[in-house]
Amino acid sequence: MDLAQTDEQLWHAVVRGDGVAFAAIFDRHGDRVWRHAWRLMQHRQDTEDVVAATFAEAWRHRKRVRIVDASVLPWLLVTTTNCARNARRSIRRNERLIAHIPLGPDAPDAADVAADRLERLDAGSAVARALRELPERDARLIALVLLEEVPLADAAAALGVSYGAAKTRMHRAKAKLRAALEAAGAELEGVTA
């Protein structure tokens, strides 16, 4: 496999079922996908699960992956955000289920166990918490442009929206994100005071 090939060239081979080309894509973008998943999950095992799910989705939907400016990375990052959201929903469902399981006399309270887990998830950066509060499409756009430094035009193409719509959404999402971060800062000041 020629490592000088572009993502687009490699992806054409992936579409034909070439596992070596897929491995080259993973080697090329795996670290960026992992860092993005980490920012969203803030827990090592959950991050690894999200990365695995992202690349599984890439393989499963390889014929429908959108290449942006000869790169598969924007599609991978959007998919990582989606997989992270799904993982957090699953974690919350499991925690609710665990909270309703009857306990033996010496067992720790399931609600405490679930609360500890949720606290670890929420112990992430204020940015990750604020990002989770945004509408899904806005969170994807912010994650691509601000966190992953994907050009706005490429992010718009990856999300399937026009550049003008992406620019408007970005402006509004940044304002919402700024307000959420300011509110989080005020909450932290109140706790430490």
Domain end position, chosen among 91, 124, 157: 124
Considering only CA atoms, which of 125, 167, 159 is closest in space to residue 39?
125
Q: Please tell me whether residues 118 and 132 are part of one structural domain.
A: no
The answer to whether 114 and 68 are in contact (CB under 8 A) is no
Q: What is the dihedral of CA 14, 15, 18, 24, to 10 degrees?
A: 0
Specify the pLDDT at position 34: 96
Q: Please tell me whether residues 112 and 129 are part of one structural domain.
A: no
Q: Please tell me whether residues 51 and 145 are part of one structural domain.
A: no
Q: How many domains is the chain partitioned into structurally?
A: 2
The answer to whether 114 and 92 are in contact (CB under 8 A) is no
The string of pLDDT tens digits covering residues 144-179 is 888 778 888 888 888 888 999 999 999 998 888 888
Domain range holding 135? Answer: 125-193
CATH label of the domain that carries residue 78: 1.10.1740.10
Q: Please tell me whether residues 10 and 101 are part of one structural domain.
A: yes
Specify the pLDDT at position 114: 54
Q: Please tell me whether residues 104 and 10 are part of one structural domain.
A: yes
H runs (alpha helix) in the chain = 7-15, 19-41, 44-60, 73-99, 110-122, 126-133, 136-142, 152-159, 163-192
Cα(1)–Cα(74) distance, integer angstroms: 23
The answer to whether 131 and 141 are in contact (CB under 8 A) is no
Is the pLDDT assigned to residue 32 strictly greater than 70?
yes
The answer to whether 177 and 130 are in contact (CB under 8 A) is yes
The string of pLDDT tens digits covering residues 60-90 is 999 999 999 899 999 999 999 999 999 999 9
Q: Please tell me whether residues 119 and 40 are part of one structural domain.
A: yes
Higher pLDDT, 112 or 35: 35
- Which residues fall within 8 angstroms of residue 37, CB to CB, at 6 or more apart? 47, 50, 51, 54, 80, 83, 84
Q: Please tell me whether residues 115 and 132 are part of one structural domain.
A: no
Q: Please tell me whether residues 80 and 97 are part of one structural domain.
A: yes
Domain end position, chosen among 124, 142, 162: 124
Domain end position, chosen among 124, 148, 170: 124
Cα(148)–Cα(87) distance, integer angstroms: 20
